[in-house]
Amino acid sequence: MNAVTLGVVFFIAVLLFASIKILREYQRGVVFFLGRFQRVKGPGLIILIPGIQQMVRVDLRTVTMDVPTQDVISRDNVSVKVNAVIYFRVLDPERAIIQVEDFIMATSQLAQTTLRSVLGAHELDEMLMNRDQLNRDIQAILDKQTDAWGIKVANVEIKHVDLDESMIRAIARQAEAERERRAKVIHAEGELQASEKLLAATEVLTRNPVSIQLRYLQTLSEVANSKGATIVFPFPVEMAELFKRPPRGE
């Protein structure tokens, strides 16, 4: 075999190597013919014409992307630092390659601006208490915006909402004041209920004078059982009337 034959064999081998592409199950190939979109191929064995056809690989698996920490000013003028994570995947490889230059970078930038705009429209308490609703709002906005790129945003999760030390101390003081307020309200409600019960008991005793005397005797018994050397108590005149004997002959 001469050198020319070896050269031809080598050229054919290189041509075949450049023509054969293998795409995995989660990959698709966007094929261009002389610069124009031709079709989406894959998975499996793909044969291309070198120099005439070009292919761009697209991964269809879900991408987990961290959104860098963003400085957000809430509606009540509180400065916080917020970061999040988004989950998205490519549904249409053709649009993901043709409609946007770098769909991963574009999605990341859009997520950052959307995070700032959505959280900036809410107060700090809403950021801390209604995080699930905020996640859904951000996800809906991102999913709508990226639909033109053939991308589906499946989920958004706000990871951390960080406050500075002065704001943390202010929130702690506010929480303490709220606890004290609730304790005073509960105590006042207890006093009100007790006064209502006492008023009802007074009305019952007033309707039956004997009940008052029995209650008086019960109180004396309780005092007598307590520790003490000498007990001095008044003896009402009305009580003596109960112990008077009727005159003889009646």
User: What percentage of the chain reaches a pLDDT higher than 90?
Assistant: 44
CATH number of the domain at 137, please.
3.30.479.30
Considering the domain architecture, whether residues 106 and 147 belong to the same structural domain is answered as: yes
Lowest-confidence segment of 124-133, 134-143, 197-206, 215-224 by average pLDDT: 215-224
Residue 44's domain comprises 11-59
Q: Which pLDDT belongs to residue 77?
A: 85
pLDDT-derived band at 8 (thresholds 50, 70, 90) equals confident
Q: Which pLDDT belongs to residue 1?
A: 59
DSSP string, 20-55: EEEE-TTEEEEEEETTEEEEEE-SEEEE--TTTEEE
Considering the domain architecture, whether residues 51 and 15 belong to the same structural domain is answered as: yes
Domain membership of residue 98 (yes or no) is yes
Considering the domain architecture, whether residues 78 and 98 belong to the same structural domain is answered as: yes
For residues 123 and 65, is the Cβ–Cβ distance under 8 A?
no
Q: Which pLDDT belongs to residue 178?
A: 76
Handedness of CA 111, 112, 115, 117 (dihedral sign): negative
Of 168, 188, 210, the position where a domain reaches its end is 168
Considering the domain architecture, whether residues 55 and 74 belong to the same structural domain is answered as: no
pLDDT in tens, 102-158: 999 999 999 999 999 999 999 888 888 889 999 999 999 999 999 999 999 999 999
Considering the domain architecture, whether residues 156 and 118 belong to the same structural domain is answered as: yes
User: Is the predicted pLDDT of residue 249 greater than 60, yes or no?
Assistant: no
Considering the domain architecture, whether residues 74 and 52 belong to the same structural domain is answered as: no
Q: What is the DSSP letter of 249?
A: T
Give how many domains the chain has, as a whole number: 3
For residues 246 and 240, is the Cβ–Cβ distance under 8 A?
no
